[in-house]
Amino acid sequence: MVGTQTFLAKLLRLIRLPRVMKLIDVRRFTKVIKSILDSLQREDRISYQFILLYAFRIFRLVIIAAFITYFIGCFWFLISDNLNNAADIENNHTFVTFFDLN
């Protein structure tokens, strides 16, 4: 049970996710791109800015999908780990042992 409490404590630390989301804020990225592309002509600057902005949005979606997948996996492990009773653990009839995930 101590392992589960440690796991929950680590999972609760990830509530700081909004801080991480600030790192991939589109408005901040747009400001950085504008300052980098300041020396180009207007037409080139706009086209490069759109390309980089869309590439950043795709990267951002991949990062968000990875976070969501991680959280779903953590919750699934927590649920599958807590649904086992003592008899199941003794007989190795748990989700983890059944699918050979250990």
- List, as one string, the DSSP characters of 3-49: HHHHHHHHHHHGGGHHHHHHHT-HHHHHHHHHHHGGGS-HHHHHHHH
pLDDT of 22 > 60? The answer is: yes
Calculate the alpha carbon distances from 3 to 9, 16, 37, 74, 75 in Å.
Answer: 10, 22, 50, 14, 15
For 31-80, the pLDDT digits (tens) are: 777 777 777 777 777 787 788 888 888 988 898 899 899 889 888 888 87
Q: Say what the pLDDT of residue 37 is.
A: 72
| Band of pLDDT at residue 13, cut at 50, 70 and 90 | low
Domain count, the chain: 1
pLDDT of 1 > 60? The answer is: no
Q: Say what the pLDDT of residue 65 is.
A: 92
Q: Which domain holds residue 48?
A: 2-98
Q: Report the chain's mean pLDDT, rounded to a whole number.
A: 76
